Amino acid sequence: MGGSSPTLAEGYAQSFNFGVKIASLRPIPGALEHAICVLSIGCAGPTPDPDALRPGKRPTGAENAAIIARLLRRLRAAWPSTHIVLRGDGHFANPELMALAFEETHTDFLFGLPGNAVLTRLAVPHLAATGALHARRCANAKRAGDSPPPRTRTYHEVDYAARSWVHPARVVLKAEVMALGENPRYVVTSLDLPNPEALYRDLYCARGQDENFIKMMKNDLACDRTSSPRFLANQMRLFFAAAAYVLHHSLCHEVLVHTELARAQPATVITKLFKIAVRVVAYKDRVKLHLPSSCPVKALLHRVTEILYHSRPPPRGQPA
């Protein structure tokens, strides 16, 4: 999904752009100073950083590299020895960003790679073999009286390098054959390991979860409501949406853990826990909220309120 929304600022054809500035930093288990972290660029994570007003057009490779270089400097100031893997879709497979990853210490990349005539020609034998395998699987399923498999996938490395690449990189093909036809996909990486299947399926495809973070921000928390003619007003609206997401993230991980809403999206939590009809009864020293007798989340609300009631506020002068 995109990362910009329409705005009236500075005339028409402008956007309050936040896509490339929002990232998800995910450590692979281990001490963070010596861990491997996957930085999904162009996606939202627990602490988004939206602060750029720019024309609503696709950023160039130089713009992407400049933004990521600044982000890497900030990360390296805190974790100089952490191995960082930049992960993004085909939009980020440009020579400038790839060269940046090669030049940076303890940094690798894994990007989607748009197809072209050369890659299509290299994929032909692999797709043919995968098609034959899919046909055999369908025939075996028919003989056994089972439903045919919806798709067959194989993974391969292909010998490919664009002239604009400063350093050679590893290109992996996902050869997929379905009932509707062939569906080849490519990724390019500086990683020597793991094998092609694990690289594509486990490392690259995991970026789909980061796309869900963007959906939460835009669909549930309305972070794209940036139609003010003033930059600061749009920035404040986006800041409130980001703060609401951090609040939701903390609520799910600290209060709703081990409940049915532990992995729920913001809209679900808002609907089930906050948009509830109650009868308000005011007393001299308190206000009581009477829930309906058939409230389906009564036990969950009791658990949440008890946890919040017994939670101690942070010491004065320290952040919450």
In a 13 Å sphere around the CA of 28, the CA atoms on its Cβ side amount to 13
Cα separation of 38 and 26, whole Å?
5
Pair 233, 259 in one domain: no
Q: What is the pLDDT of residues 13-32, one digit of tens each?
A: 344 444 443 344 444 433 33
User: What per-residue confidence (pLDDT) applies to 40?
Assistant: 62
Q: Please state the separation of Cα 53 from the chain's center in Å.
A: 21
Where in the sequence is the domain holding 169, given as residue range(s)?
Answer: 4-237
Pair 46, 126 in one domain: yes
From 221, 237, 253, the end of a domain falls on: 237
What's the DSSP call for residue 124? Answer: H
Cα separation of 156 and 117, whole Å?
18
Helix (H/G/I), strand (E/B), else coil: 88: strand
User: What per-residue confidence (pLDDT) applies to 199?
Assistant: 92
Position 80 confidence tier, pLDDT thresholds 50, 70, 90: confident
Amino acid in position 197: E
Model pTM score = 0.63
% of the chain exceeding 90 in pLDDT: 27
In a domain, 317, yes or no: no
Cα separation of 61 and 43, whole Å?
17
Lowest-confidence region among 28-32, 48-52, 254-258, 288-292: 28-32
User: What per-residue confidence (pLDDT) applies to 14?
Assistant: 43
In a domain, 142, yes or no: yes
In a domain, 316, yes or no: no
- Strands 279-282, 185-189: pairing is unpaired
User: What per-residue confidence (pLDDT) applies to 200?
Assistant: 93
From 199, 215, 237, the end of a domain falls on: 237
Q: What is the mean pLDDT of the chain?
A: 80
User: What per-residue confidence (pLDDT) applies to 318?
Assistant: 61
Beta bridge partners of 107: 84
Q: Which of 187, 223, 232, 221 lies closest to 205, judged by CA?
A: 187
User: What per-residue confidence (pLDDT) applies to 88?
Assistant: 86
**Predicted confidence (pLDDT) at residue 34 exceeds the cutoff of 80:** no
User: What per-residue confidence (pLDDT) applies to 182?
Assistant: 92
Pair 203, 223 in one domain: yes
**Predicted confidence (pLDDT) at residue 103 exceeds the cutoff of 70:** yes
**Predicted confidence (pLDDT) at residue 186 exceeds the cutoff of 90:** yes
Q: Which of 6, 8, 4, 63 lies closest to 229, judged by CA?
A: 8
In a domain, 83, yes or no: yes
Pair 167, 220 in one domain: yes
- Strands 36-41, 23-27: pairing is antiparallel
User: What per-residue confidence (pLDDT) applies to 116?
Assistant: 92
Pair 60, 164 in one domain: yes
The 10 Å CB-count burial string (b at 16+, else e) for 183-200 is ebbbbbbbeeeeebeebb
Cα separation of 187 and 44, whole Å?
21
Q: How many CB atoms lie within 10 A of CB 291?
A: 14
Cα separation of 168 and 289, whole Å?
65
Q: Please state the domain count of the chain.
A: 2
280 touches 289 (CB < 8 A): yes
Pair 177, 264 in one domain: no
Report which of residues 12 and 70 the model is more confident about: 70
Pair 123, 228 in one domain: yes
Q: Which of 20-24, 38-42, 53-57, 147-151 has the highest mean pLDDT?
A: 147-151
Report which of residues 40 and 177 the model is more confident about: 177
User: What per-residue confidence (pLDDT) applies to 227?
Assistant: 84
Mean pLDDT of the region 115-137: 94
172 touches 155 (CB < 8 A): yes
Report which of residues 99 and 41 the model is more confident about: 99
224 touches 238 (CB < 8 A): no
User: What per-residue confidence (pLDDT) applies to 167?
Assistant: 87
User: What per-residue confidence (pLDDT) applies to 238?
Assistant: 87
From 189, 218, 237, the end of a domain falls on: 237
Phi first, then psi, for residue 229 (nearest 5°) are -75, -5
In a domain, 301, yes or no: yes
% of the chain exceeding 70 in pLDDT: 81
Pair 77, 208 in one domain: yes
In a 13 Å sphere around the CA of 276, the CA atoms on its Cβ side amount to 21
Pair 79, 208 in one domain: yes
Phi first, then psi, for residue 84 (nearest 5°) are -110, 130
- Strands 185-189, 107-112: pairing is antiparallel
In a domain, 134, yes or no: yes
Pair 229, 267 in one domain: no
Q: How many CB atoms lie within 10 A of CB 89?
A: 18
In a domain, 50, yes or no: yes
Helix (H/G/I), strand (E/B), else coil: 316: coil
Mean pLDDT of the region 212-221: 84
Cα separation of 301 and 272, whole Å?
9
In a domain, 180, yes or no: yes
